[in-house]
Structure 1
């Protein structure tokens, strides 16, 4: 049986600095390759960092920093991801990178799937931005609800509270996903609700591993002083979030912890060696993509058509 090394990048990028965040991602991909990692999953919006201010300040105060965030978001069409693709190809590592993706004047909370030869295999845009995220990011569509074929296996992913969308999880499960990349930020250092955050995420991720009969890579960032300095410079003093947090781990289809949880502000690559055949230990009990699904009673319909703002017919030549 083939053994594959999969990993989470437990790291904080450089907030509002696309170039520096991409450089850090490339360094971590190179490090992962030197450790024999075949698949590396990054936290949510690693490039250009998670915009914590959206949950902390009145909307009317955020317009200026939102313009800066738009400018620092990843424009795939202009080659912003080329260095990451090159790093993945050089290291021979498949990558799922959390990005804020720019498409014209709209940005999307997204995951970029990159193969070990450096090819961009697809982009998943978060279907429904959570809570205050709706002020900043647009909605993704079914075209990005993908499971990518990689040498390590069939790889899918969701972002943060997108894991609360049970039908989105089931769409990936039904597409026979074997490894799931879960990209999250940390809210563990929030003053009012951080105390239960790590427990909530762990329960969701272990449940997804069990119900989906898949390996789950949980990748979170931690909050650095640089993040706090940027927010203070842009929006003024704040006391709602402090430095620290972050919790990354890898779970087996049984729910067992294979690596981590690694917590706190120490950058690390958390890895585990897995055998995909272990998935069948769970599937013989309850295959939620097969004999346990009862499709004659319960069916899931997924619209994979890309959302389009312009549909033309009969244009004159």
Structure 2
């Protein structure tokens, strides 16, 4: 926590209007998930829960105070604790200390799902968390072993907070700096925006903490940092730091570059074809348990289709005998998630 507040102050002194921290900056990336069976992960799981934040807790409150005190917007990635579950969360705090955006990662990536929970669309939308204006005395969280690097830039820039785990490139290249940089450039082009890419750096001390065998050390290596800022045309506009170096990278931003980029290619505007394809994002809350009508089965398909089947007595009998098929009343109709193609 102290390091986070110090970096916010340092960025503000350097003239930055926004500072972005990587995914799960607090308490740090759970590298142990990659290094062995579940039984060996148990000692780390308790520490992850102990060091996770709650949205209305004293740590986020201290960061909001720092943002207000230094007049800087803060994009913070952290592990959020909600009851017994952990979520990969991001909160954007305005320069006056108010919360502009709070969201949870819809789908944790790969082994992240062993530690972090999925969320519904309603909890991934922009919102002000409960207690955002609450004032509490700051409390220091235990520091993470791995090193992480923030990135800063001018006001009004979208940001991407990937957690670049540092397994060997031949093990998971899609998590490498090269692959994530390429993805970030696509985000810049398709979004017509400046993109702040804040990444993590793992230190030798972090490897000593997580890797206790030769096999684990083979899977994890130091470095991995590649924080940078890309223009809407995908060009990088920051200096390139060594992958093992901690530091702030910064750039001045000319928002007119967004207009120029979108004049050539605007997927959400003149380059779109909503008559042919469009995206539906469910924003209403979904409950784990819902009441159902007796004798009716409602299946919510993953492809935006709802299938309703009314089971009569003969249909139930056919099911018991193992015969395939659904009663004559089976019908399918486009649901709210239907897409035209």
Structure 1 CA distance for aligned equivalents of residues 65 and 213 of structure 2: 38
Counting matched residue pairs gives 261
Alignment of 1:195-234 (within 5 A): 197-232=176-211
Structure 1 CA distance for aligned equivalents of residues 239 and 106 of structure 2: 28
Task: Tell me, yes or no, if structure 1 residue 57 matches structure 2 residue 18.
Answer: no
Are the aligned partners of 2:226 and 2:243 in contact in 1 as well (CA < 8 Å)? yes
Secondary structure in structure 2 of the residue aligned to 1:80: helix
* Alignment match, 2:324: none
Alignment of 1:1-317 (within 5 A): 22-146=1-125, 179-188=157-166, 190=168, 192-193=170-171, 197-232=176-211, 238-239=216-217, 240-309=219-288
CA shift, 1:124, in A, is 1.8
List per-residue Cα deviations over 1:13-42 (Å, max 9, x = no partner).
xxxxxxxxx211111100010011111111
Structure with greater Cα Rg? 2
Are the aligned partners of 1:186 and 1:223 in contact in 2 as well (CA < 8 Å)? no
- TM-score, with structure 1 as normaliser: 0.76
Structure 1 CA distance for aligned equivalents of residues 113 and 246 of structure 2: 30
Structure 1 CA distance for aligned equivalents of residues 113 and 172 of structure 2: 21
Q: 1:147 to 1:102 in 2, by over 3 A?
A: closer
Are the aligned partners of 2:202 and 2:244 in contact in 1 as well (CA < 8 Å)? yes
Are the aligned partners of 2:237 and 2:251 in contact in 1 as well (CA < 8 Å)? yes
Structure 2 CA distance for aligned equivalents of residues 45 and 77 of structure 1: 17
Structure 2 CA distance for aligned equivalents of residues 308 and 271 of structure 1: 43
CA shift, 1:100, in A, is 0.4
Are the aligned partners of 2:74 and 2:92 in contact in 1 as well (CA < 8 Å)? yes
Q: 1:228 to 1:98 in 2, by over 3 A?
A: same
* Higher fraction of helix: 1
Structure 1 CA distance for aligned equivalents of residues 202 and 281 of structure 2: 36
Higher RCO by CA contacts (8 Å cutoff, separation 6 or greater): 1
* Higher fraction of strand: 1
Moved more, 100-109 or 274-283: 274-283
Structure 2 CA distance for aligned equivalents of residues 244 and 286 of structure 1: 35
Gaps of 5+ in 1: 1-21, 149-177, 313-317
Are the aligned partners of 1:185 and 1:246 in contact in 2 as well (CA < 8 Å)? no
Structure 1 CA distance for aligned equivalents of residues 181 and 107 of structure 2: 21
Gaps of 5+ in 2: 128-155, 292-341
Secondary structure in structure 1 of the residue aligned to 2:259: helix
Structure 1 CA distance for aligned equivalents of residues 46 and 183 of structure 2: 33
- TM-score, with structure 2 as normaliser: 0.71
Structure 1 CA distance for aligned equivalents of residues 192 and 104 of structure 2: 23
Secondary structure in structure 2 of the residue aligned to 1:113: strand
Structure 2 CA distance for aligned equivalents of residues 222 and 103 of structure 1: 27
